[in-house]
Structure 1
Amino acid sequence: MGVADALRMMNAGLDYLNGPGAADLDPAACGTVLRSLGEIEAKFTAAHASVLARFDAADAHDCDGYGTSATWLTAMADMTPRDAKVKMREMRLLRAH
């Protein structure tokens, strides 16, 4: 399995949770689901920061004509400039940790 396969599986899982199938979830089970989603969110944040750090270190934003990773995120990941700067700050904090 490669990165593309892993991303497809993640998208499929999130599509299910955001779709009508999740409406059948027993309310008593929501706590367990929320704990699992918290774990997934932490892993996602770490993975995002790791890939963003590699992207930034390689100046990969240059390939698309952007001067910084934050400006690339703004344009290519449909983020506001403020959110892009927050992502860069989070990545740097996680990298330092």
Structure 2
Amino acid sequence: MSVADALRMMNAGLDYLNGPGAAELDAASSGLVLRSLGEIEAKFTAAHASVLARFDAADAHDSDGYGNSAAWLMAMTDMTRPDARTKVRRMRLLRGQPAMAGALVSADISK
């Protein structure tokens, strides 16, 4: 499996949850789905921060003409300035707190 394969699978899963198939979910099952989505969100946050940390450390934003990672995120992912700055701040926080990053990866944030 490659990174591209993993991203395709994630997109397919989210497309399903955002499509008509998810309408078949009964209300009683929604809590379980929300719990799973919370775990997925935690893992996504850790993955995003990890990739952004490598991108930032390599000054990869320079190759596209941006002075920092937040500016690159704003331009290339259509994030607002506050959201881009939050992503960079979160990445730096997690880079400095490996235990917190590990808890997100394992989605073990409630224990």
Shared fold, TM over 0.5: yes
The answer to whether residue 45 in structure 2 is matched with residue 45 in structure 1 is: yes
CA RMSD of aligned residues (A): 0.5
Distance 1:83 1:33 in 2: 26
Provide the TM-score with structure 1 as the length reference: 0.98
- List alignment gaps of at least 5 residues for structure 1: none
How far off is 1:14 after superposition? 0.2
- How many residues align? The count is 97
Deviations 1:33-80 (A, max 9, x none): 011000000000000000000000000001111110010001001011
What does 1:14-53 correspond to in 2, within 5 Å? 14-53=14-53
Q: Percent identity?
A: 80
> Any runs of at least 4 consecutive aligned residues in structure 1 with deviations exceeding 3 A, and if so which?
none
| Equivalence for 1:71 | 71
- List alignment gaps of at least 5 residues for structure 2: 98-111
Question: Higher relative contact order at CA 8 Å, sep ≥6: structure 1 or structure 2?
Answer: 2
Distance 1:82 1:88 in 2: 10
